[in-house]
């Protein structure tokens, strides 16, 4: 299925595999259970499968999409989740696919979920998907380097993405969080909104349901 999609849209060649690699590495940094990591890998490989129903000319269009074209594109998580639900051993993966374009502040698309109500697998996919998109050549723009991409993600932390998951991605890439922020902190963050020093132990505890009771992830 993934190869069929890549044959239709050459710009996405290798995209699903890279998103799966980033997603699995994020999940490992957060020390999620092996079963969840396996689910995340399957979800990442299949997250864009719903695009098989989107015309090639829309997927490769170098200019702004029309309203109708945009509607076709935003339907792909729903279509993908429907396809996956038809395969018994993949049914548990469908929520991650359906919700991977949700925004942390509720302004994404899928189900209009907010914050921790978005499945953790979908929040991981969202970050991994965006990172790969930013660092890849697309019909409408060139690729950015790792640090530029990570700064873009951080600029959207709390609005589009879960900041804890961005921090886990940064750690998995072997990049210093403090150096990354220090280089261009003033450009991205006002003085009163400087990003705190990374503390992975707190993030790991949060995703293992060991926080102070205000947001554990045991049910996802």
Evaluate if residue 216 carries a pLDDT over 50. Answer: no
- Is residue 10 within 8 A of residue 59, CB to CB? The reply is no
Lowest pLDDT segment from 17-26, 125-134, 191-200, 201-210: 191-200
pLDDT score for 159: 95
Lowest pLDDT segment from 154-158, 184-188, 214-218: 214-218
* Between 210 and 150, residue with greater pLDDT: 150
pLDDT in tens, 88-105: 989 999 999 999 999 999
Q: Which long-range contacts (CB under 8 A, 24 or more apart) does 99-103 make?
A: 100/43, 100/47, 100/125, 100/126, 100/129, 101/74, 101/77, 101/126, 102/126, 103/159, 103/160, 103/161
Domains of the chain: residue spans and CATH: 2-104+113-207 (1.10.3210.10)
Look up the pTM and report it.
0.81
pLDDT in tens, 28-76: 999 999 999 999 999 999 999 998 888 888 887 888 889 999 999 999 9
- Is residue 149 within 8 A of residue 134, CB to CB? The reply is yes
Evaluate if residue 136 carries a pLDDT over 80. Answer: yes
Q: What is the mean pLDDT of the chain?
A: 83
């Amino acid at each position: 299925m993934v190869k069929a999609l890549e044959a239709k849209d050459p710009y996405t060649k290798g995209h699903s595999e890279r998103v799966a690699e980033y997603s699995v590495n994020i999940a490992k940094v957060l020390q999620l259970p092996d079963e969840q990591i396996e689910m995340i890998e399957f979800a990442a490989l299949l997250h864009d499968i719903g695009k098989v129903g989107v015309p090639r000319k829309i997927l490769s269009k170098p200019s702004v999409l029309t309203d109708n074209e945009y509607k076709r594109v935003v339907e792909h998580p729903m279509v993908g989740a429907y396809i996956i639900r038809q395969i018994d051993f993949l049914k548990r993966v469908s929520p991650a696919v359906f919700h991977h374009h949700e925004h942390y502040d509720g302004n994404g698309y899928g189900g209009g979920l907010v914050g921790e109500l978005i499945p953790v697998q979908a929040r991981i996919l969202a970050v991994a998907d965006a990172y790969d998109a930013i660092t890849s050549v697309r019909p409408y723009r060139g690729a950015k380097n790792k640090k530029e991409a990570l700064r873009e993600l951080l600029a959207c932390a709390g609005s589009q993405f879960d900041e804890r998951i961005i921090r886990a991605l940064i750690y998995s890439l072997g990049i210093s969080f403090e150096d990354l922020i220090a280089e261009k902190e003033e450009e991205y963050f006002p003085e009163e909104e400087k990003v705190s020093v990374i503390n992975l132990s707190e993030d790991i505890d949060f995703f293992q349901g060991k926080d102070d009771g205000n947001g554990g992830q045991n049910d996802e």
